[in-house]
Amino acid sequence: FAHDLEQVLDRSSRAGVVGLFVCSTSQLDMQKVLKLRKAYPDRIHPCLGLHPLDGTFDEDVWAVTRELIIAEHFERGIAGIGEIGLDFSRPILREHAKANGTTEEEVRATQI
């Protein structure tokens, strides 16, 4: 919605929507979500996390991500923590885990 964000927000407001939960699936997404919240602090409620298929679950990346989430929580608050996946991603997650010699549970445990 980057090209028509103002129109989307206007239409949602006219429809009675008072706030939007905006979810991240990667570190890059987190920055975009936080930028949106800064621009619309009364309307945008961030949910920060990584999607299991993002592929950035090495220890260093996760440490930076975790610190970003914690800092944002204490500084301005967030609406939710954790990846915000869709149910249909479960078979994809299973295939991805199998192809990488791991299990779905190990990918999820890495997130936690």
pLDDT at 89: 60
pLDDT at 75: 93
Helix, coil or strand: residue 61: helix
Structure tokens at 2: 């980057």
Average confidence (pLDDT) over 18-23 = 91
Contact 111, 57 (CB under 8 A): yes
Looking at per-residue pLDDT, the higher value among 10 and 92 belongs to: 10
Identify the sign of the CA torsion 29, 22, 64, 86. negative
Contact 48, 72 (CB under 8 A): yes
Q: Is the pTM of this model over 0.95?
A: no
Average confidence (pLDDT) over 65-74 = 91
Average confidence (pLDDT) over 27-42 = 92
Give every CB contact of residue 36 below 8 A, 6+ residues apart in sequence. 22, 44, 46
